[in-house]
Amino acid sequence: MSNGDDFRTLGRSLRAFAEGIAGVDQLEAALPTSPFPDAGLDGFLSHFVFTIQVGPPEAEPVHITLPVAVQTVARSRPFIYRGAGHAVETPLPRGCTLSPRITENDFAQRPSPYFEVGKECVWLQILNLAARGDTPLGPIRIILGETFKREYPDLFQPSLGVAQSLGRSGFPARLFFDPCAIVETEKGAFRAVHGVLAYGRIDEFPPVGSVVQTTDVIPLDTVEALRRPAAAAPVAARVLGLAHPIDAALRVSGDEAFGFVERSTRPAP
């Protein structure tokens, strides 16, 4: 065995020993880091893979993979989280009417451990997305952000996220989003809320290739029932599992990527 092999074997042994003593999180914190970037806009390609059940619990689930769609996200400047009451500002592209200000109260969910005092964070907001596809349920469209606000203003909620350092600052980091979306199908339009999308370790924005999936079943409320609570009982629906991987970064500005989605979702003149 060469000296190089000896050193690699020793390194693996030391890492395993350190994991056993310190735990994976502490080991991650000791790894080399890179700084978070300044505030900005990201445009990228992403797609949905999910299983939906429409009707009673004994209804047959339907498995769906939608084509790739353009998505845009705004990022705050990195900051050290000091506790409840924090607020940040994010840049917005031209034509966006969403609020640039995010406060902790705007988060529908605050899952542990994404709000740890003393850790460096970046708060994020999904600005726009329009995902479409033909499925066993017929045509489906999923909208978030600007398009959601424009077409369903009475039901709109922002789709927010947090990236938090595994160490004290910078990458590597953990990331979650708490998206609020409208899912339009031939059986009706549904609003999906409080579905935490948790990513694995991320090393960049956008986190291309990072593992991401929901952490629980997502109930779907019909738009009709939300607008008219006294209406007839809606068709029950729920998302049993969902992944929303980021496939590739777009090599254009956030403004340009936001414009792509806007033009695709607005009706032709």
| Predicted confidence (pLDDT) per residue in 99-126, tens digit | 999 999 999 889 989 999 999 999 999 9
By residue count, the chain amounts to 269
| Cβ atoms < 10 Å from Cβ of 241 | 15
What's the pLDDT score for residue 14?
43
Q: How far apart are CA 57 and CA 36, in angstroms?
A: 44
Nearest to 238 by CA among 214, 207, 204, 262: 214
Mean pLDDT across the stretch 192-197? Answer: 83
Strand partners, 171: 34
Record the pTM. Answer: 0.85
Q: How far apart are CA 194 and CA 80, in angstroms?
A: 25
Mean pLDDT across the stretch 69-78? Answer: 97
What's the pLDDT score for residue 166?
95
User: pLDDT tens-digit profile of 240-254?
Assistant: 999 999 999 999 999
User: pLDDT tens-digit profile of 234-243?
Assistant: 668 999 999 9
Contact criterion met (CB below 8 Å) for 114 and 166: no
User: pLDDT tens-digit profile of 148-173?
Assistant: 999 999 999 999 999 999 998 999 99
Q: What is the domain partition of the chain in residue ranges?
A: 1-30, 34-265
> What are the structure tokens assigned to 208, written together?
């291309």
Q: What are the CA-CA distances from residue 87 to residues 101, 120, 137, 260 (Å)? A: 7, 14, 41, 29
Band of pLDDT at residue 20, cut at 50, 70 and 90: very low
Contact criterion met (CB below 8 Å) for 70 and 45: yes
**Strand ranges, E, within 19-157:** 40-46, 49-54, 62-65, 69-75, 79-80, 87-89, 101-103, 120-135, 138-144
User: pLDDT tens-digit profile of 201-230?
Assistant: 999 999 999 989 999 999 999 998 888 876
| Cβ atoms < 10 Å from Cβ of 54 | 18
Q: How far apart are CA 70 and CA 45, in angstroms?
A: 5
What's the pLDDT score for residue 16?
45
What's the pLDDT score for residue 57?
86
Q: How far apart are CA 56 and CA 108, in angstroms?
A: 27
Q: How far apart are CA 47 and CA 71, in angstroms?
A: 9
Phi, psi of 26 (to 5 degrees): -70, -35
> What are the structure tokens assigned to 230, written together?
């006294």
| Cβ atoms < 10 Å from Cβ of 236 | 15
Mean pLDDT across the stretch 189-198? Answer: 87
What's the pLDDT score for residue 199?
92
For the CA atoms of 134, 138, 139, 142, the dihedral, rounded to the nearest 10 degrees, stands at: -100
